[in-house]
């Protein structure tokens, strides 16, 4: 990632807490510099809301991200699937200042790294577990 790049080319599982009043799901998907499909249709929106409930108070929420290479991803909240997508590729907008050699539109997004961040509000992570999926 270049110093001038505004955001990584990535898939973001967006964690949001409630504001006490409005519906605000968590485990949403944002796609800076990437594209995905849902049920065989390319997603046009930069961010897509999950179907999770809103968590207004300070409570622990269990979020799972299940990734099968560049083919299928599922977001789970407290054990319930709230979002799923497939065909992860580099492409689309919502990212600027990138290295042209790194943003090869149409290429499968088959590798990368995991980052935990807080853009503007405090967040606490109680346990972060990584497990490699194996088998067929």
In sequence order, what are the residues at sequence separation of 6 or more whose Cβ sits closer than 8 angstroms to the Cβ of residue 82? 25, 27, 50, 51, 52, 75, 76
Q: What mean pLDDT comes out for the span 69-96?
A: 94
Q: What are the structure tokens assigned to 58, written together?
A: 């300070």
Which one is predicted more confidently, 70 or 92?
Answer: 92
Residue 35 falls inside a structural domain: yes
For residue 111, the enclosing domain spans 1-130
Model confidence band, residue 135 (pLDDT cutoffs 50, 70, 90)? low
Residue 1 falls inside a structural domain: yes
pLDDT at position 100 is 86
Model confidence band, residue 111 (pLDDT cutoffs 50, 70, 90)? confident
Mean pLDDT of all residues belonging to the chain:
90
Residue 21 falls inside a structural domain: yes
Q: Is 28 within 8 Å of 14 (Cβ atoms)?
A: yes
Total of domains in the chain: 1
DSSP structure class, residue 35: E
pLDDT at position 136 is 56
Residue 34 falls inside a structural domain: yes
Cα 23 from Cα 21, distance rounded (Å) = 7
Edge-to-edge strands, sheet with 34-38 = 41-42, 34-38, 80-90, 72-77, 63-68
pLDDT at position 2 is 75
Q: Is 23 within 8 Å of 55 (Cβ atoms)?
A: no
Per-residue pLDDT reduced to its tens digit, 9-63: 899 999 998 889 999 999 999 999 999 999 999 999 999 999 999 999 888 999 9
Residue 135 falls inside a structural domain: no
Residue 61 falls inside a structural domain: yes
Residue 136 falls inside a structural domain: no
Instruction: State residue 56 phi and psi, 5-degree precision.
Output: -85, -30
pLDDT above 70 (res 120) = yes
Instruction: Label the pairing between strands 80-90 and 47-48.
Output: unpaired
Residue 116 falls inside a structural domain: yes
pLDDT at position 117 is 76
Among 60-69, 85-94, 114-123, the range scoring the smallest mean pLDDT is: 114-123
């Amino acid at each position: 990632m270049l110093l001038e790049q505004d955001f990584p080319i990535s898939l973001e599982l967006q964690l949001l807490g409630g504001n006490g009043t409005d519906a605000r799901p968590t485990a949403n998907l944002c796609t800076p510099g990437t594209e995905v499909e849902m049920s065989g249709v390319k997603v046009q929106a930069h961010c897509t809301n999950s179907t999770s409930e809103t968590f207004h108070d300070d409570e622990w929420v269990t979020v799972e991200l299940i990734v099968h290479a560049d083919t299928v991803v599922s977001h789970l909240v407290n054990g319930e699937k709230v979002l799923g997508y497939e065909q992860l590729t580099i492409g689309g907008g919502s990212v600027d200042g990138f290295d042209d050699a790194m943003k090869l539109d149409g290429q499968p997004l088959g590798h990368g790294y995991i980052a935990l961040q807080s853009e503007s509000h405090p967040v606490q992570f109680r346990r972060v577990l990584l497990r490699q999926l194996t088998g067929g």
